[in-house]
Amino acid sequence: VVAEGKQLSEIDWTRNGLFVVFGATYLGGFQYWLMVNKYRQWFPTMDRFGKLPLAQKLKDTAGIMDAGKMVLFDIFIHLPIMYFPSYYTVKEFIYGDSWNPVDWARHGVSKYIANSREDLTAMVQLWGPSDCIQFALPTHIRMPFRHMVSFFWTAYVSFTRGSKTDSTETAGDMEEQPAVVAVVANTAE
């Protein structure tokens, strides 16, 4: 409203609903459970490594290995196999014509596959470096840090994949979203 100079009547409430539903359920619930509870089980040095000063972290081979495994898990399993299919499925729930969850998943995954090269490239470019920082931070700072980075990621996803007809029309959406373009362009520098 403020950044784009739009009136409340001009806001795409369906698009906002997509990001509220997805943000609350996936990012606010599932991702916390995965990255705090499950990572703590799978990567046993996570908490100890996070508490160490940088000089000691650089000497902690087991902690560095677990941090590296967390980055690899996030980049090769979590984001491409869990996050993106979930996002596209929720998008089909919000925008789709069917009330059948199987249709949401089928149509969502097919759109993800069509967009996967571009989506996965952008994901690695942002989350690869970000994860290297995140998984070296103390545990209590990791999720706030991730949410901060997610703000910019969500702006990018909204910009490129948030509208109802976005599968191949990313360039046209960019021209209509000057405020988001500025945010995304500034984060890329």
According to the model, what pLDDT value does residue 167 have?
47
According to the model, what pLDDT value does residue 1 have?
54
Closest C-alpha among 112, 101, 37 to residue 79 = 112
> pLDDT-based confidence at 166, cuts 50/70/90?
low
Q: Is the pLDDT of residue 182 over 80?
A: no
Q: What is the chain's mean pLDDT, rounded?
A: 84
According to the model, what pLDDT value does residue 40 have?
96
Distance CA 162, CA 155 (A): 9
pLDDT digits (tens, 9 = 90+) for 51-76: 999 999 999 999 999 999 999 999 99
Q: Is the pLDDT of residue 45 over 50?
A: yes
pLDDT digits (tens, 9 = 90+) for 8-27: 888 888 888 888 888 888 88
Task: Say if residues 42 and 67 touch (Cβ distance below 8 Å).
Answer: no
Q: What is the pTM of this model?
A: 0.78
The residues near 148 (Cβ < 8 Å, ≥ 6 apart) are none
Distance CA 140, CA 133 (A): 14
Q: Is the pLDDT of residue 162 over 90?
A: no
Please state the rounded mean pLDDT for residues 159-171.
61
Distance CA 41, CA 33 (A): 11
Closest C-alpha among 93, 77, 112 to residue 25 = 93
Q: Is the pLDDT of residue 174 over 60?
A: no
Q: 46-57: b or e for each residue (b if 16 or more CB lie within 10 Å)?
A: beebbebeeeee
The residues near 186 (Cβ < 8 Å, ≥ 6 apart) are none
